[in-house]
Amino acid sequence: MRWVRRSPWVCIGGLVLAVATQAASTEPNARAAEPLAAAAAHGAAEPAPEAVATTPQAADAARSQLLGTWRGYVVEGKGEQPDRGPVHLELTITRDRIRAIQFQGGQEVDLGEGTFELQPDRSPGVLDAQKRLANPNRREVWLGIYQLQGDTLKWCVGRRTRPATLETREGAFLLILRRSAP
């Protein structure tokens, strides 16, 4: 079997989800992905990642592990100094939303809210976010990979391409966040 992305996105009650369908193939374990045509209109220039057979149970379990408030920094390099960085922020993750606040000079700056998509069966896992803008036909798309170890979330994102490694470098930045006590 191979997985083919048939429709890049579907919106159900405000929740934006990626849709993949199964297609027959004569090659075992073959995978294919069509370009995400809508990505260019939403700020991303890379094709959609290969769709992965993430079961609903695995996606739901991964989503549950991310629920809560996370505080940390955008760090330099691979995060050798995880408790400091150029940007201090807080993410609040609910079942279908992700919200960001930046701490800057004693003030909280609302960075906005959006939806997110998980593919926990990939290594590293995929965590993409979309922020709706004032124009309802436009979105900021953040393509990312993540790693969750206990109460530490590492999330590396890029605007045009998905990072291949968990490190800050040109076109990508790494966030290292710790779960806040409830």
The enclosing domain of 173 has a CATH number of 2.40.128
Which residue type does 35 have? Answer: P
pLDDT in tens, 13-38: 333 333 332 333 333 333 333 223 33
Whether cis (ω within 30° of 0) applies to the bond prior to 163 is no
Using CA atoms, how far apart are residues 79 and 169, in angstroms rounded to an integer?
11
Same domain, 170 and 85: yes
Percent of the chain with pLDDT over 90: 60
With contact defined as beta carbons under 8 Å apart, do 19 and 7 qualify? yes
pLDDT at 163 over 70: yes
- Summarize the confidence of residues 54-68 as an average pLDDT: 89
To the question of pTM greater than 0.75 for the whole model, the response is: no
Q: Which structural domain range is residue 47 located in?
A: 2-53
Same domain, 161 and 77: yes
Using CA atoms, how far apart are residues 129 and 123, in angstroms rounded to an integer?
18
pLDDT in tens, 104-148: 999 999 999 999 999 999 999 999 999 988 888 888 999 999 999
What single string gives the DSSP state of each residue in 28-93? TT-------HHHHHTT--SPPPPP----HHHHHHHHHHH-EEEEEEEESTT-SSTT--SEEEEEEE
